[in-house]
Amino acid sequence: MSYANWNGNKNFRATLTLESEGEHAIFGADTPIRKRTIIDCPYNGKVMQTGSMRLTGQGTKDNLALAALSGDNDRAYLYLFNTSVSTSNSTYVKVGLRAAHDTDSASGDWFATLPSFGQLFIPISDMQSVDLEVIGSSTPIVEYMLLQKDA
Amino acid sequence: MAKKITYRIKIDTDAPLFQPNYPLRMSAPDGNEGVEMPSTSVTITGDNDQSLTSVKCTTSYQDLNSATIGGTTYGGKACWWYIKNAEPGGRHIPEGSTTTYHSASSGGSTSGPAAEGTITDIIIADDGAQVIARLAPGEWMWFCSGDNTKLQAKTATGSCKVEYMCFHMA
């Protein structure tokens, strides 16, 4: 394995497949949803994190980025996967933005929710970091990728 | 009958072009070009759903969901979203301009393709006009919004189309 271009421009490919068909189809069995879309994602910023993190617990916001996202509009690719397999709709992970890396996000300032075994992929913007807070008594492990787009 | 949608996110590389820059590759064996995340099925519990919709955006915010997002699931006001900047992805050459390729036989100059509309980013914001995403041409996002009655979209400049679907939770 070579890392000859580890400091150069990097890309990965992200594919989303959506299906809703059969008796459970959202718009009925005669109107199935089958959608597949692919993008190439360039990233070369200073923040390139992949890994997993066990969340502290309800009441504590865990900061995802080790350094502040920066560059043009603080853009980054964010992938999150809540590995919990709880079946409760009242157990989930709040996803909030941090306008400044070292400043806790304002109370209630969250924009996405991550249910058990839920995933998201967003080319985020205008935030220096991401806060994660679990709601419920569990402390799930969240797998993640945070890849800044610009240096 | 419960309404369900199944989604799968796959992250990998086009090995001949991009290797070895796959971000998770350090922990993967040689020859492993990516990871296919597990497929997840979501039960949609809300009454308001929008199938694939395409709208032309300008530099002013416009609402994407036609019905206000409410409900109490996942902390309240939860809604699954697929949103994509409908402009073609990849490198673009505006019509009329040229670029030089390393080809002695062709003379090294050509132009196009030209995209319909403006080649621009789509900016996605929450109900308080707080920006949360910026979609370059061809980029998509899939997530469950929370604590917001709506999402809004606008372009960084000019106009272009955004396509989306949304599925409310009760």
ipTM of the modeled complex: 0.92
Residues composing chain B: 170
**Is the CB of B31 inside 8 Å of chain A's CB atoms?**
no
From B12's Cα to the closest Cα of chain A, the distance in A is 5
When the pLDDT of each residue in chain A is averaged and rounded to a whole number, the result is 87
Q: Is the peptide bond before B20 cis (omega within 30 degrees of 0)?
A: yes
Q: Give the residues across from A119 on adjacent strands.
A: A81
Q: Among B24, B73, B146, whose Cβ lies nearest the Cβ of A112? A: B146
Q: What are phi and psi of B73, to 5 degrees?
A: -60, 145
Sign of torsion, CA A99 A104 A109 A113? positive
Q: Among A11, A25, A108, whose Cβ lies nearest the Cβ of B147? A: A108
Higher-confidence position of B35 and B157: B157
Domain chopping of chain A, boundaries? 44-148
pLDDT at residue A96, rounded to an integer: 94
List CB contacts (< 8 A) between A74 and chain B. Answer: none
pLDDT at residue A106, rounded to an integer: 67
Q: Are A95 and A120 in contact (CB under 8 A)?
A: yes
Q: Among B14, B34, B132, whose Cβ lies nearest the Cβ of A97? A: B132
pLDDT category of residue A51 using cuts at 50, 70 and 90: confident
**Is the CB of B51 inside 8 Å of chain A's CB atoms?**
yes
The CATH class that applies to domain A44-148 reads: mainly beta
Helix (H, G, I), strand (E, B) or coil at A94: strand
pLDDT at residue A7, rounded to an integer: 45
Question: What value does the mean pLDDT take over residues A120-142?
Answer: 94
Asked if residue A118 has pLDDT above 90, the reply is yes
Question: Nearest residue on chain B to A1, judged by CA atoms?
Answer: B30
Question: What value does the mean pLDDT take over residues A27-43?
Answer: 92
Q: Angle CA(A65)–CA(A82)–CA(B144) in degrees, nearest 5?
A: 90
List CB contacts (< 8 A) between A69 and chain B. Answer: none
Question: What value does the mean pLDDT take over residues A90-103?
Answer: 89
Q: Please tell me the pTM assigned to this model.
A: 0.87
pLDDT at residue B101, rounded to an integer: 43
Residue A31 tokens, joined: 């109107």
Q: How far is CA A98 from CA A45, A70, A106, B19, B110, in A?
A: 18, 12, 8, 33, 44
pLDDT category of residue A33 using cuts at 50, 70 and 90: very high
Model confidence over B71-96: pLDDT tens digits?
Answer: 999 999 999 999 999 988 754 444 45
Interface test with B, best of A12, A35, A52 (most B CBs within 10 A): A12
Asked if residue A28 has pLDDT above 90, the reply is yes
d(C-alpha A16, C-alpha A38), whole Å: 6
pLDDT at residue B44, rounded to an integer: 97
CB contacts < 8 A (A, B): 194
pLDDT at residue A102, rounded to an integer: 81
Greatest mean pLDDT range, A84-93, B39-48, B82-91, B100-109:
B39-48
